[in-house]
Amino acid sequence: MEEKTMAKTKQISVFLPNTPGELLKLCDYLKGEDVNILAISIQNARDYVEELFKARERTGRRIVLEESYRGVLRESSDYSVIRLVVEQPEKAEEVLQNAEYTVDIEPVICLTLKNKPGALGEVAGKFAQANINIDYVYGSVMEDAEESLFVVHIPEIKKGLDLFED
C-alpha cells in the first residue's frame, strides 16, 4: 500500500440554514480565528432524506410511513449538513459554538494517498477484509497533484487504524 499518511482526527459537523451566505458566515468565523479548512462536505438535508427514502423503497425496507416522510422532508429542506476537517479542531469547535452553531464532533480517519487509480480501493479493500463498514467518504484531488486527501468515517476508528500499522 502506498498511502503517505493515515491519522485519526476530528470532524466537525454543523447544521446550517440552507440559504445564500450561510457558508460564507461560517468561513468568516473560522478565518477570523486563523483556522484553516482542510476538507469539507456539504449535503442538503432534504436531498439526503430523499435519497434514503428512495433507497429504502427500492429494497422494500421502509423506515417511516409516507406521511411521516413528507413531514421530515419539509423540515429538512431548510438545512444543510456541513462536515469539516480543520487544522485546529478544538479552536474551531470553540469558535463555532461561540457563534451559536450547533456543533457535533466525531472521530474520522484522514488519508493522504498517492494520486493514482486504485489507491482508495486498496484502503477500502483492507476495511472490507476486516469486516469494517465505511459509513461515508469525502475527498479531493487536483488532476495533476501527486497526492489526494480523503476523510473516512468508520464505526471502529482504532481497529481501522490498526489495519495499516507496519
Q: How far apart are CA 23 and CA 41, in angstroms?
A: 11
Residue 141 pairs with which residues in a beta bridge?
A: none
133: burial class by Cβ within 10 Å (0-12, 13-18, 19+)?
A: exposed
Q: Show the cell assigned to 137.
A: 467518504
C-beta of residue 51 within 8 angstroms of C-beta of residue 76: no
Total domains in the chain come to 1
Least confident residue range of 8-12, 41-45, 96-100 = 41-45
The per-residue DSSP string of 43-63 comes to EEHHHHHHHHHHHHHHHT--S
The three-state secondary structure class of 153 is: strand
- According to DSSP, residue 38 is labeled E
Q: Which of the four pLDDT bands, split at 50, 70 and 90, describes residue 85?
A: very high
Res. 119: pLDDT tops 70: yes
pLDDT value for 151 = 95
pTM to 2 decimals?
0.77
Domain that holds residue 144: 5-162
20-24, 62-66, 122-126, 147-151 — which is least confidently predicted? 62-66
C-alpha cell at 126: 483492507
Least-confidence region, from 6-15, 59-68, 97-106, 109-118:
59-68
d(CA 57, CA 156): 29
So what's the pLDDT on residue 81?
Answer: 85
- 50 pLDDT tier (thresholds 50, 70, 90): low
Q: What is the mean pLDDT of the chain?
A: 84
3-state DSSP assignment of residue 162: helix
- What is the rounded CA–CA span in Å between residue 102 and residue 151? 21
pLDDT surpassing 60 at residue 63: no
Domain of residue 79, CATH code: 3.30.2130.10
Q: What is the mean pLDDT of residues 65-85?
A: 66
What pLDDT score was predicted for residue 163? 85
Q: What does the alpha-carbon distance between residue 17 and residue 3 come to, in Å, rounded to a whole number?
A: 37
> What's the pLDDT tens digit per position in 10-25?
999 998 888 899 999 9
* Per-position b or e across 6-21, b if 16+ CB within 10 A of its CB: beebbbbebbbebeee
